[in-house]
């Protein structure tokens, strides 16, 4: 915005991004945190709470890094649209194509593989060490796996509008359902079909 510094703009974006991601990802993260609490080797209630918080902080720190990559890309695209009207006229079509491609990725083995990694996180963990460094690394690993698995659905949120409540609701429900539903592969494919249809509609 006019008069706003780059640092101020980036800080405002990251604050908004973190709040949005907390709202969107907590429903699917809570079961993973519960499994962590069952796997960690401590009976000290206060220590367990601290370690659980550190896992959550590591997880959302990974999403913060994702946001730090998104911000300059968004600024660059916005500046290009303002300089070249022809590009601005093509953007709505590009939005539809990106939504369509994101939906198509839901049907690929790549998505199935990454979704399985997210769903199985900590399922086979036994007596994780009760260490703060381990908890932080565990959270970071969970966050990075989640960023990769959700990259296509996050792209839908970004191109439709970061603050668009309808897109946010769709992506939140989609991410939660494909992780927690028993037939996750079928759910992911159904989400992909819906996104493909939406992408075709937006493109046309």
Is the pLDDT assigned to residue 126 strictly greater than 80?
A: no
Q: Provide the pLDDT confidence category of residue 122 given band limits of 50, 70 and 90.
A: low
In the block, tokens 């494919």 appear at 189
Neighbour-count burial of 31, counting CB atoms closer than 10 A to its CB (0-12 exposed, 13-18 middle, 19+ buried): middle
How far apart are alpha carbons 198 and 2 in whole angstroms?
Answer: 35
Each residue's pLDDT tens digit, 79-102:
888 888 888 888 889 999 999 999
pTM (2 d.p.) = 0.87
CB 17 within 8 A of CB 158: no
DSSP state letters, 120-139? TTTTT--SB---HHHHHHHH
CA–CA separation, 32 and 137 (whole Å): 14
Tell the residue number behind the tokens 């706003």, with chain if given.
Answer: 4
- pLDDT tens-digit profile of 32-44? 898 888 888 776 7
* In the chain, domain spans: 6-122+130-203
């Amino acid at each position: 915005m006019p008069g706003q510094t780059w640092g101020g703009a980036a800080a405002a974006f990251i604050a908004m991004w973190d709040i949005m991601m907390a709202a969107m990802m907590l429903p699917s993260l809570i079961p993973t945190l519960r499994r962590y609490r069952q796997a960690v080797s401590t009976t000290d209630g206060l220590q367990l709470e601290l370690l659980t918080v550190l896992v959550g902080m590591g997880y959302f720190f990974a999403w913060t890094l994702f946001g730090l990559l998104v911000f300059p890309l968004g600024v660059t695209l916005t500046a290009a649209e303002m300089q070249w009207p022809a590009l601005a006229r093509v953007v709505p079509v590009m939005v539809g194509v990106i939504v369509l491609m994101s939906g198509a990725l839901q049907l690929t083995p790549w998505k199935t593989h990454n979704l399985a990694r997210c769903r199985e996180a900590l399922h086979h963990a036994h007596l994780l060490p009760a260490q703060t460094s381990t908890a932080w690394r565990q959270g970071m690993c969970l966050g990075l796996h989640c960023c990769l698995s959700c990259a296509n659905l996050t792209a839908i949120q970004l191109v439709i509008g970061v603050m668009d409540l309808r897109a946010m609701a769709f992506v939140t429900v989609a991410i939660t359902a494909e992780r927690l539903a028993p037939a996750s592969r079928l759910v992911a494919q159904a989400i992909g079909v819906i996104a493909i249809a939406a992408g075709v509609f937006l493109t046309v």
